[in-house]
Structure 1
C-alpha cells in the first residue's frame, strides 16, 4: 500500500478544518455583513470585527511569548539528579532523552490561539470599558461608582481569569518539558540491606531547575489568586444570591467578606513562602507546604466559617 505524502496529509487535514470551522464562520459573517448593510449598521459589524482581531492579535502574541519564554527557561542548563545506587557512589539519574521541545512549541502556539479566540468573545465588554462613563451614583457597601460594576468588573474578571489559565498552561508545558528531558523522572536505586543490595522503591526525582521553575509559576498563580479575590470576588458579593434577594446578605458582609480578605492575604503569604523556598534551595518542600496551608485557610475562611454563620 503506497504511503500518503505529507503534502496530501496537510491538504486533507486543512480541508477538514476549513469545512468544519472556517467555512461556517465565513457564511455567518457574510450573512451578517449583508444584513447589517441593509439596515444601515454595517459600521457596528466592522467595529466588532476590528476589536476581535485586535484582541486575538494582542492576546495571542502575549500568550505565545509568555509560554515560549517559559519553555526557553526550561531549556536552560539542568543539573544531574544524584540517586543512591549502592554503597560505592552516586549515579546521574537524568535519562538522556531528547526533550519534546518542538511538539511543546506547537502546543504553546495552539494554546495561545485558543486563548486569544476565547478572549475575543469579550469584545463588547472591552468596548464598553473604553467608552464607559461614570454614573455618578456610588453603591453603599464599598463606595464605588456603579460604572465600575457595569464596565470595569467584567473586563477585570476576564483578564484575571485569562492570566490564571495562561499560568496553568505554562505549568503544564514546563512539567511536560522536564518530564521529557529527564528533569522530572522516576528513579530506582539499589540500597544495601545487610550484605545484599536490594531495589529501593521508585521515587519521583525533580531537578533543582525544574523545581524552581514550577515553583515560580505556582507563586505567580497564588498572586493572581489573591488579585482575583480582592478585585473580583469581593466586589462580586454585591451580586450574591445567598439571601432572599440579590445582593450582599448578612453572611456575605460579616462572614464571606472577611473570609475572602483572609484568603487573599494567605495566598500572598503562600507566594512569599514559595519564593523563600526557591531562594533557600528547598522549593519542593516550601511549595507543597504553602499550597497545603493556603488550601486549608481558604476552605476554613471561605467555606466552613460562612456556612456556620449562615446556619
Structure 2
C-alpha cells in the first residue's frame, strides 16, 4: 500500500506450475503508476485484474499463464496505452480482439492459447513479433497483412481455423525470420513469386493445411532457411532442384503429400547440417541414394510408405546417431 514510487513489478516463474496467488480486492486502487508489469505463472484471475484500471503509464504488460477467464475489458482499452509488449498468452481470455490498441517501435504481441474469436486483428506497423497460436481465429489471413504490418519478423498463426489462400502481401514482409501458419484450413497453391524477397527467413512451417500444387522453385532462394516443414498437405510434383541451394537446412519435412520422382542425391551433398529428413507417405520411387550417408548429423530419416526399390545403402548403418525408418511399399 505504501509503494507509491513503484514503476516495475515482476513475478516471474519459469515453471508453468502455479504456486503464488494474488488475493486482491476488486475495489483496491493501486498507489503507484507502473510502466512495466511482468507476471508469469501466478494466479491473477479469474477476472482481468481491476487494480490495473488506473495504470495509464504502462508500456509493458505481461500477464502470462495467470488463470484469467474473462474478456479484455473496455476500461483497459480506454487507458490509451502505447505498448512495447503485450503478452496475455496461456489464459482463457475470450471475445474479439480490438484493433484499437497502439504499440511502440519493435513491439511484441502474444495472445497465444486463449479463446479469442473472429477475424485476425491488424495493428500498427510497429509490431515486429506477433504470436496468435492456438486461439479460435477464423476467416482468411487479411489480404493487406504485409502492407499493414510490414516490419514483422516473427509471425505465428498456427492452430487456428484460418481458411482461404496465402495472400500475396506476405511478400512485403522482407524482414521475416519465422513464418508459422500450420494447423489451419488454408488452401490453394503456395505462392511462387515472393520468396526471393525474404533473405532472413529461417523457419517456414505450412504443415497440416490443404495446400496443393508444386513446391515453388523460388523457395530455393531462402539462403537462411533451417526448418522447412510442408508436411500433411496435398502438394505434388518433383522436389525442385533449387532446394539444394538451402545449404543451412537442419530439418526438411515434406511427409504426407503427393510428391513423386526419385530421391535426389543432392540432399546428401548440399545439406551438411541436416538432422531431420522426413519424406514419408508420398510417391517417391527409385533407390535410396548413397549420398545420404554423408549426412553425419542426421538423427531421423523417415522414408516410409513410398514406392522405393533397390537396396538400402549399407553405409546407413555407420550413422550411429540416426534412427532409421526404412522404406515401405505403398499398399
Give me the TM-score of the superposition, normalised by structure 2: 0.21
Larger Rg: 1
Give me the TM-score of the superposition, normalised by structure 1: 0.22
Q: Which is strand-richer, 1 or 2? A: 2
